[in-house]
Amino acid sequence: MNSLEVYARRVMLLVDQASEYLSAEGIAQVRGLTDHSEAPEGVSTLAWLIIHEGTRVPAAIVDEIRDLSEGYSYPEDFPQGLDEWATDESAESSFDETSDR
């Protein structure tokens, strides 16, 4: 797997995990971006979706959003206050890109 495929797989795993907490409509929008080779934009949209829906998500999701955004998003385009929506709740699945999921 090349680095872009690994990145896309990590984004897909992130979206799957986030779908447990966010609206189906919002997740569909994010999936549409990732399915059309716009994974970095999908990650940014996911961050904004958390803010706009006012939904608390496990800190692991926020951490993975930040990690996947690094180098792909401009800091001024990233929502401020995202960390305020992180909870101590554990995400059930791992974001390990080597997972067979």
Query: What is the pLDDT at residue 71?
Result: 81
- Mean pLDDT of all residues in 38-62: 95
C-beta neighbour count of 3 within 10 angstroms: 8
C-beta neighbour count of 101 within 10 angstroms: 9
36 closest CA partner among 19, 17, 12, 13: 12
- Mean pLDDT of all residues in 79-100: 71
pLDDT of residue 98 exceeding 50, the answer is: no
Contacts 24+ apart (CB under 8 A), 96-100: 97/6, 97/9, 97/10, 97/13, 99/13
pTM for the model = 0.83
Whole-number percent of the chain with pLDDT over 90: 67
pLDDT of residue 78 exceeding 70, the answer is: yes
Q: Could you tell me which residues come within 8 angstroms of residue 49 by beta carbon, excluding any fewer than 6 positions away? A: 22, 23, 26, 27, 29, 30, 55
Domain ranges of the chain: 3-87
If one compares 93 and 30, the residue with the highest pLDDT of the two is 30
Confidence at 52, pLDDT banded by 50, 70, 90: very high
Query: What is the pLDDT at residue 16?
Result: 97
Alpha helices in 1-101 (DSSP H): 3-18, 24-35, 39-53, 59-69
